Structure 1
């Protein structure tokens, strides 16, 4: 208990390889697979648990696979206050130079709400500005960053919305980079979980949102800033992410915690007490689910016939581990799909199949099956050598 890449999916690679080799992928390949979808297999609805959480919407998921563990109104469009700044930080980290200097405009210095207390004309590195964005939740820092990255706020907001679509957050609409109430500015608990899951893959983001406090000496005066996420001070297991509050949005919080290699992300929107609600969600996940390793990297699972190769079969192994949080008595099904054959040459780590994991008939995740070694194409010399060997054996 807690106290108090984008790249083609493995399925896309398999279908590409199959087309290239003019071979059909074997049994149980489903065209509907999308690797970054949040899986709803075995989702526990709020009314089915003993949890009594006072929030308009919430969601808890496994950060590794995206499996939703419990939810309520997770598709409901709601304002999200300063959790907006998760997306602002993503764009700054992906498109900006952390050492570049950000100059504070009059527009940035005059914005209301939570503040990093920036002054007009003040300059500061983008890195320090991000600490001001994510720890004290500075709306002024959000505007300054938006202008620095996008040229102006409006262009930056367009970038935010494009990025949301790329990540798969289809029910999200940004109107500003800070999260102050504005018509048409909304997200869902599901979308915010997707955005956060993406952000947590950025090392600098994880570092900043896990910082409890820091002294910033750059700028016109020294600032000692503290993280508004009080859960960071409750347990070392909790290491992020972002608070939010406005009159329309209510109290919001995205939190993450890791225990025994098992990372959970909770999203709470419109809560009466966002800290206790998030803590209950995280505790529920760790108390009711156990991380189990189902697939081990480099374990042998099949062999694929090789046409025209110096070796007749390519041994295939799992390209990565699969570990899932599971409740007791959940039914796991594992499908192994491989090419019926492949043409030489075959290269080490070439994808030749896939392991698919299902829970209650719903797809959860997969791992590639890859060749364990190179197999070169059989040459004329190889054929000649084989003939000589047969002749010599025949003579003997």
Structure 2
């Protein structure tokens, strides 16, 4: 009887203690910043959040948007002429001089490594003419990325009561910026020596303020591939960083931190993300996701427009089969070209939902769309198709008349 009780107790202990531990996540670390986000950069999934949409002044982390726009709008070899306004900019600077000419690439190094406000103004004016017009561009780009808690007033993050963003919006901007290899190359450069210019015979030495990329630093994080610090007295501390490990890319954003704990907090959050979550590919690009049946019976394969990934907790026992819902779109009167994006899918795994654009796997020509003017393509191919249809139609009429004429002539001769 005693042996039976011991076995029974042991079974209950294993059932209620050990089994759940396999699925449990480590408790996420505490971050002191007021707005915090840990995001998977491939899918956009939030792995940890704290007031993710609360907007605060972001100080120099603003510059990741400036960097993004410069990389999108300029060539690195473009030459920028420094204005008086850029020269007179307050805060951190590399002391540019009015009339000084520098390549965009050199100014970006000054902006990324030294957080130079004068470089930000010079680049903004080069792109848009004025910093005010550049701020309009910044806000439009932020909106296009899905930012809803952001309003930029300047390109460098100098304090303004109306200049604000959230940790989530900052992560969205960084997610787009990391697509540019030029950014990774510059942001992981520990130090850089700027070349002499027409106004400066001396080289300008630059030192990267992101301690996570410096070997030998107590905060060195070998997986870090970029980051930006920010600080003003009114804005307090902000920080954003991106790191990659085993094909997984994570972004950590911390806004409005009074305790200056952003470096250790970021490392703890990144480790939490890498240790507890994994990225896996579910669909390859051009793999069939679903099908669409047209009224004429044509079956259109709907293919993934890109490689599709999901993020799951490690050791998760969730069911693998997702729920896939495709957008209902009337394509019955349209001609479809293989590769055209013709639908969207919402793919749900448990509580997590992802969006995926779907493309057609075949060509499908619908003559009715030509005759009814539903195709808005006035290309040469469309005109030739219409001409061919008319030729066939008139030839068929001519052939029918000729057959009738010959038949009547034959009947008359027999009489």
TM-score, normalised relative to structure 1: 0.75
The verdict on how the C-alpha distance between 1:335 and 1:70 changes in structure 2, with shifts beyond 3 A counting, is same
Per-residue CA distance 1:236-282 (angstroms, 9 max, x = gap): 42101211111122221110011121111110113322111111111
The verdict on how the C-alpha distance between 1:313 and 1:254 changes in structure 2, with shifts beyond 3 A counting, is same
Matches within 5 A, 1:93-132: 93-132=71-110
Distance across 2 between alignment mates of 1:170 and 1:301: 31
Q: Which ranges in structure 2 are unaligned for 5 or more consecutive residues?
A: 1-25, 215-219, 368-387, 393-415
In the alignment, is residue 296 of structure 1 matched against residue 284 of structure 2? Answer: yes
Does 1 or 2 have the higher relative contact order (CA < 8 Å, sep 6+)? Answer: 1
In the alignment, is residue 249 of structure 1 matched against residue 227 of structure 2? Answer: no
How far does residue 290 in structure 1 lie from its aligned partner after superposition?
A: 1.1
Match of 1:259 among 202, 224, 245: 245
Distance across 2 between alignment mates of 1:115 and 1:137: 7
Computing the radius of gyration over CA atoms, which structure comes out larger, 1 or 2? 2
The verdict on how the C-alpha distance between 1:341 and 1:216 changes in structure 2, with shifts beyond 3 A counting, is closer
Does the Cα contact within 8 Å between 1:193 and 1:265 map onto a contact in 2? yes
Q: Which ranges in structure 1 are unaligned for 5 or more consecutive residues?
A: 1-47, 382-396
Match of 1:73 among 51, 54, 74: 51
Does the Cα contact within 8 Å between 2:159 and 2:235 map onto a contact in 1? yes
Matched position secondary structure for 1:258: strand
Distance across 1 between alignment mates of 2:153 and 2:287: 49
- 2:407 matched residue in structure 1: none
In the alignment, is residue 239 of structure 1 matched against residue 234 of structure 2? Answer: no
Matched position secondary structure for 1:290: strand
* Higher mean C-alpha displacement, 196-205 vs 353-362: 353-362
Per-residue CA distance 1:312-362 (angstroms, 9 max, x = gap): 534444333211221124566331537698568543224455443213345
Distance across 2 between alignment mates of 1:317 and 1:139: 46
- 1:370 matched residue in structure 2: 360
Q: CA RMSD in A?
A: 2.8
Does the Cα contact within 8 Å between 2:305 and 2:356 map onto a contact in 1? no
Does the Cα contact within 8 Å between 1:262 and 1:325 map onto a contact in 2? no
How far does residue 368 in structure 1 lie from its aligned partner after superposition?
A: 1.5
Per-residue CA distance 1:115-139 (angstroms, 9 max, x = gap): 2232333211112111111111001
Does the Cα contact within 8 Å between 1:308 and 1:377 map onto a contact in 2? no
Distance across 2 between alignment mates of 1:61 and 1:200: 13
Matches within 5 A, 1:24-39: none
The verdict on how the C-alpha distance between 1:366 and 1:331 changes in structure 2, with shifts beyond 3 A counting, is farther
In the alignment, is residue 165 of structure 1 matched against residue 143 of structure 2? Answer: yes
Matched position secondary structure for 1:55: coil
- 1:277 matched residue in structure 2: 265
Distance across 1 between alignment mates of 2:117 and 2:341: 46
Per-residue CA distance 1:138-186 (angstroms, 9 max, x = gap): 0111121222222222222232223222323222122221112222111
In the alignment, is residue 228 of structure 1 matched against residue 209 of structure 2? Answer: yes
Does the Cα contact within 8 Å between 2:88 and 2:118 map onto a contact in 1? yes
In the alignment, is residue 337 of structure 1 matched against residue 326 of structure 2? Answer: yes
Distance across 1 between alignment mates of 2:254 and 2:276: 19
In the alignment, is residue 89 of structure 1 matched against residue 78 of structure 2? Answer: no
Matched position secondary structure for 2:34: strand
How far does residue 70 in structure 1 lie from its aligned partner after superposition?
A: 0.5
Structure number with higher helix proportion: 2
Does the Cα contact within 8 Å between 2:341 and 2:357 map onto a contact in 1? no
Does the Cα contact within 8 Å between 1:80 and 1:187 map onto a contact in 2? yes
Matched position secondary structure for 1:92: helix
Distance across 1 between alignment mates of 2:248 and 2:119: 33
How far does residue 54 in structure 1 lie from its aligned partner after superposition?
A: 1.8
* Higher mean C-alpha displacement, 293-302 vs 334-343: 334-343
Does the Cα contact within 8 Å between 1:129 and 1:145 map onto a contact in 2? yes
Does the Cα contact within 8 Å between 1:173 and 1:187 map onto a contact in 2? yes
Does the Cα contact within 8 Å between 2:240 and 2:251 map onto a contact in 1? yes
Matched position secondary structure for 1:347: coil
Matched position secondary structure for 2:185: helix
